[in-house]
């Protein structure tokens, strides 16, 4: 008859027979701590990168002329689009009443904001191509983890402001100080 030692078992320091399975379990326990540390390190690495969030987007327009269409992150067509009306006499902003949901934005990411204005009937009938404008914007950090609405402000000086809000009843950003003054800083595509 064979002994445990001859069947692949080993003896401990005090002479007890230790089956091979138990030895393998002991070595697995020794690997458990380094594996857990590696997993924690890998999880920690992804914590520094911002994750895309799905939000509802709306546009605010300082121009009198309606924006035909805008795209936020137009390269990836992330679902961020809208067409705010022009502002009416005595108002700081046009738009803000309707929004489009399903927009994906990534805080900290720099993207293009592209837009064009509505054409007149004469321009459209003449086959004129609508002028498209673009500017680079950086998606800000959310107001809170509950922020689910995203506002895009088109300013008369050719810039744009972006704002996260927790609800649509939140205060709007203040208008451009010199709203009556046109500045030709828009870039054509």
At 24, give phi and psi (nearest 5°): -65, -40
Q: Is the pLDDT of residue 25 over 60?
A: no
**Can you give the pLDDT at residue 45?**
41
Taking a C-beta distance cutoff of 8 angstroms, is the pair 141, 53 a contact? no
**Can you give the pLDDT at residue 175?**
85
Q: How many CB atoms lie within 10 A of CB 51?
A: 8
Contacts 24+ apart (CB under 8 A), 7-15: none
Q: 109-144, pLDDT tens digit by residue?
A: 999 999 988 888 999 999 998 888 999 999 999 989
Q: 157-179, pLDDT tens digit by residue?
A: 888 999 999 988 888 888 888 65
**How does strand 10-11 pair with strand 100-105?**
unpaired
């Amino acid at each position: 008859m064979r002994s445990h030692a001859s069947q692949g078992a080993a003896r401990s320091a005090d002479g007890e027979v230790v089956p091979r399975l138990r030895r393998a379990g002991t070595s697995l326990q020794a690997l458990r701590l380094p594996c857990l540390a590696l997993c924690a390190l890998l999880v920690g690495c992804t914590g520094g990168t911002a994750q895309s969030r799905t939000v509802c987007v709306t546009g605010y327009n300082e121009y009198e002329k309606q924006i035909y269409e805008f795209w936020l992150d137009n390269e990836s067509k992330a679902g961020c689009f809208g067409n705010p009306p022009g502002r009416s006499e005595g108002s700081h902003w046009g738009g803000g009443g309707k929004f489009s949901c399903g927009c994906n934005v990534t805080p900290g990411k720099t993207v293009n904001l592209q837009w064009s204005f509505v054409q007149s009937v004469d321009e459209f009938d003449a086959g004129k191509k609508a002028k498209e404008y673009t500017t680079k914007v950086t998606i800000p950090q959310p107001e809170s983890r509950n922020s689910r609405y995203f506002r895009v402000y088109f300013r008369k000086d050719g810039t744009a402001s972006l704002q996260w809000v927790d609800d649509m009843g939140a205060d709007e950003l203040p208008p451009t100080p010199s709203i009556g003054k046109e500045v030709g800083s828009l870039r054509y595509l």
